[in-house]
Chains A and B, each alone.
Chain A
Amino acid sequence: GAGVSQSPSNKVTEKGKDVELRCDPISGHTALYWYRQRLGQGLEFLIYFQGNSAPDKSGLPSDRFSAERTGESVSTLTIQRTQQEDSAVYLCASNEASGKETQYFGPGTRLLVL
């Protein structure tokens, strides 16, 4: 596809359930980023992938959060035992390489934990 895609676009879950969020980056982009955006707030960095490796996991808020990337393409962000404070928009971005290159964002997944 032409841009970054994310699925699902919306997810409602019950507290304590696990969720998986998917990101398909732009073809050929080696770097992939996950961000969290709470209502009315800025983007919070979660994790970065270069290829299939995640050299920077510093933003993951707790051990309930994990992410993986396969085939230097699709990435999955998993949140285990969801809590109400996990409710947010989860955004994925990609670019050709890390550093100062422009990041291109997907439309986000809106997660609501009841």
Chain B
Amino acid sequence: EDQVTQSPEALRLQEGESSSLNCSYTVSGLRGLFWYRQDPGKGPEFLFTLYSAGEEKEKERLKATLTKKESFLHITAPKPEDSATYLCAVPGLRTGNQFYFGTGTSLTVIP
């Protein structure tokens, strides 16, 4: 069964302390892996899409990478405003229309 798993569930960092979030997936025939940021009380906000192993994308302090089985979201020198829940998602193989979301990593950056 197609599945997406994120780790850790929660992460507390000091401002400036770099780290990585993990998203592993079991869906076969990957047709994209999506990263979203979700702030409390809001809908997910799109960050990145990765389509093939080895691909990397960057936006400010965030860099997303993709291998054949997992993706990492690297956060370099985070700031308190980076605090949010980060979600990853993949489209399912069966229908292509159903996106499978992980449960997210709740990131807190302490000043």
- Contact between chains at A48 and B97 (CB < 8 Å): yes
- Contact between chains at A59 and B98 (CB < 8 Å): yes
- Given A42-B87, A59-B98, check contact A4 B43 (CB 8 Å): yes
Nearest CB in chain B: distance from A28 CB, A: 17
Number of A-B residue pairs, CB cutoff 8 Å, is 66
- Contact between chains at B87 and A43 (CB < 8 Å): yes
Chain B residues, CB < 8 A from A84: none
Within 8 A of B (CB), among A34-49: 35, 41-43, 45, 48
CA–CA, A72 and B104, complex, Å: 31
How many B residues are at the interface, by size bracket? Answer: 20 to 34
Nearest CB in chain A: distance from B94 CB, A: 9
Q: Which of B91, B97, B103 has the most CB of A within 10 A?
A: B97
- Can you name the residue of chain A whose Cβ is closest to the Cβ of B44? A105
Within 8 A of A (CB), among B87-103: 87, 89, 91, 95-103
Nearest CB in chain A: distance from B93 CB, A: 11
- Given A43-B101, A48-B98, A56-B95, check contact A100 B32 (CB 8 Å): yes
Nearest CB in chain B: distance from A59 CB, A: 7
Within 8 A of B (CB), among A100-114: 100, 102-108, 110
Question: Taking the complex as formed, is A1 at the interface, i.e. its CB lies under 8 A from any CB of chain B?
Answer: no
How many A residues are at the interface, by size bracket? Answer: 20 to 34
| Additional pairs, 6, CB under 8 Å, beyond known A43-B87, A108-B43 | A45-B101, A93-B43, A102-B49, A105-B36, A105-B44, A107-B43
20 CB-based A-B contacts, threshold 8 Å: A4-B43, A31-B97, A33-B97, A42-B101, A42-B104, A43-B89, A45-B99, A56-B97, A58-B98, A59-B98, A91-B44, A99-B31, A99-B91, A100-B31, A102-B34, A103-B34, A105-B45, A107-B43, A108-B42, A108-B43
